[in-house]
Amino acid sequence: MSTTYGTFPGSRPRRLRTTPAMRRMVAEYRLHPSDLILPAFVREGVSEPVPISAMPGVVQHTRDTLRKAAVEALEAGVAGIMLFGVPEEAKKDALGTPGTDPDGILQVAIRDVKAEVGDELVIMSDLCLDESTDHGHCGVLDAEGRVDNDATLERYAEMAQVQADAGVHVVGPSGMMDGQVGVVRDALDQTGHEDVSILAYTAKYASAFYGPFREAVGSSLQGDRKTYQQDPANLRESMRELALDLAEGADMVMVKPALPYLDVLAKVAESVDVPVAAYQISGEYAMVEAAAANGWIDRDRAIMETLTGIKRAGANMILTYWATEVARQL
């Protein structure tokens, strides 16, 4: 086929971009409300929602406003909600006791949301200790102050049981401890929770973009997470984490953050036969909101563009703080 006639191109891709209807027809990827999962924070002991300054539009919910947010998400067609509990400061300790207390805020929130929406919305919970420890790490520390992998696994097993007892559909182990998926699967199976699924945080990078999340869960992390979360310089390592998580029983896998790791997401998505999620995290949200607030970018277009990019890279499910808003628009 000839590609040009003199100065005239023989092939004109622009023909398929001429009208909105034409562009809609030939779109290769489209977002659907059921692609979206809403991450939500619930704080113990507050009577009003508390705004998160680095995440304009996102709050630490009260028990009541969380129930409302769950209903709104459901009505908008969102697929699921990922819950994070923020315990009272005085209850946090070195072991992260609120995380395994059946009456800890996360367990209470799971029961609240379950009572409100039942099985209509997929209820997911963060399975990690950082929201509950006074030092802010995702696990318990050894005598030298290092995060003790195997001692942490015992805590995760207990967390899995109390979250499942509270009625959660999916647990999301996010601490990046070796062996966490296998231990959580065993704990669920041994306590009669064979039907509770595991969304494994498979490729989770030590990212600067978690910054606003620290405020969201009231965490004052001492040090950093570089001995357990992955180095941003690594891609092959994610394939190793993926193989381990699948062998240990992950039902779904996740890449996090999303935008700076679309190559990782694309590679994971083409390598597996389980559903793949991506988490558009707090700092990704904050970047767009801050630039938009300054009038530097078109907020709504930027949001859709990021989400479409994440879907194009291979995500079946996207966790995003804009879930309800975007689902309403779609």
214 has binding-site annotation: yes
Asked if 128 touches ligand PBG (CB under 6 A), the answer is: yes
CA–CA gap between residue 129 and residue 131 (Å, rounded): 6
Rounded CA gap, 205 and 97, in Å?
Answer: 26
DSSP secondary structure of 191-207: TT-TT-EEEEEEEEB--
> Among 174, 180, 238, 306, which residue sits at the site for ligand PBG (rule: CB under 6 A)?
174
Q: How far is the CB of 285 from ligand PBG (least distance, A)?
A: 7
255 binds ligand PBG (CB under 6 A): no
Token pair of 286, please? 């904050």
Bridge pairing between strands 252-256 and 197-204: parallel
Residue 136 or 167: the one with the smaller Cβ distance to ligand PBG is 136
Residue 43 as a binder of ligand PBG (CB under 6 A): the answer is no
Q: Is 210 in the site for ligand PBG (CB under 6 A)?
A: yes
Tell whether residue 322 is a contact of ligand PBG (CB under 6 A). Answer: no
CB of 7 to ligand PBG, least distance (A): 51
Of 12-20, 123-131, 187-195, 304-312, the window that binds ligand PBG (rule: CB under 6 A) is 123-131
How many other C-beta atoms lie within 10 A of the C-beta of residue 120? 11
Toward ligand PBG, which CB reaches closer, 130 or 148? Answer: 130
Choices 61-69, 106-114, 124-132, 190-198 (CB under 6 A): range interacting with ligand PBG: 124-132
| Residue 308 CB neighbour total at 10 angstroms | 16
**Rounded to 5 degrees, what are φ and ψ at 258?**
-100, -70
Alpha-carbon distance 198 to 142, whole Å? 27
Binding of residue 184 to ligand PBG (CB under 6 A) = no
The candidate with the shortest Cα–Cα distance to 124, out of 166, 169, 65, 72, is 169
Biggest CA–CA distance in the chain, Å, is: 77
97, exposed or middle or buried, with CB in 10 Å at 0-12, 13-18, 19+? middle
Closer residue to ligand PBG in complex, CB, 101/271: 101
Q: Is 256 a catalytic residue?
A: yes
Number of chain positions touching ligand PBG (CB under 6 A): 10
Residues 187-206 that bind ligand PBG (CB under 6 A): none
Q: Which of residues 138-167 bind ligand PBG (CB under 6 A)?
A: 138
Q: Which of 155, 225, 267, 311 binds ligand PBG (CB under 6 A)?
A: 225
Q: At what angle do helices 236-248 and 180-190 cross, to 10 degrees?
A: 20
* 29 carries a ligand binding annotation: no
Minimum CB–partner distance for residue 209 and ligand PBG (Å): 7
Find tokens 């009208």 and name the residue: 19
Distance CA 98, CA 319 (A): 25
CA-angle at 81, arms to 77 and 86, nearest 5°: 150
130 interacts with ligand PBG by CB under 6 A: yes
Q: Which is nearer to ligand PBG, 21 or 233 (CB)?
A: 233
Q: β-strand 8-9 against 50-51: which pairing, if any?
A: unpaired
Among 68, 92, 256, 267, the one annotated catalytic: 256
Q: Does 135 bind ligand PBG (CB under 6 A)?
A: no
Annotated binding site: 214, 225, 241, 282, 321
Q: Which residues bind ligand PBG (CB under 6 A)?
A: 126, 128, 130, 138, 174, 210, 213, 225, 281-282
